[in-house]
Amino acid sequence: MGNVIELSEQDFDALVLQSDVPVLVDFWSPSCGPCRLIAPLLDVLATENGEAAKIVKINTFENMTVAARYGVDMLPTIMIFRNGNVVERMIGAVDKARMQEALDEAMG
C-alpha cells in the first residue's frame, strides 16, 4: 500500500481532522471494484505529494460511524479535508489528475 495510511474510527479525528496538512480520504471497501481500480493511483499520489499532504483510506464497512458522519453512501467517495473541514468531495473512480488538482487547491 506504499505511503497510503489505513485509518480506523479511533484515529480518524487525530490523523484527518487535526492534521496540519491537507488530507485526501478514500472511503472504500474491499468488495468495491472502482475502489480497487483507484488504489494504485492513491499510492502514486502519496509518493508524489510526500509531506505536503496525507493520503489515507478508511474501510467503510469496518468503520460505519465515520462513513455515516460524512454521508458516504456511494463508493468510492474521495474527500479532501483542510483544517478539519471537507473542502472537496468526489464520487466514483476519479482520475489521478482530478485528485491532484483538488489536493493542489487545498494546499493553496
> E-strand spans in 1-104?
5-7, 23-28, 54-59, 77-82, 85-91
User: Active site includes 32?
Assistant: yes
**Catalytic annotation, pick one of 24, 25, 35, 106:** 35
**Catalytic annotation, pick one of 23, 32, 58, 99:** 32
User: Active site includes 56?
Assistant: no
Query: What residues contact residue 95 under an 8 Å CB cut-off, 6+ apart?
Result: 41
- Catalytic residue numbers read 32, 35
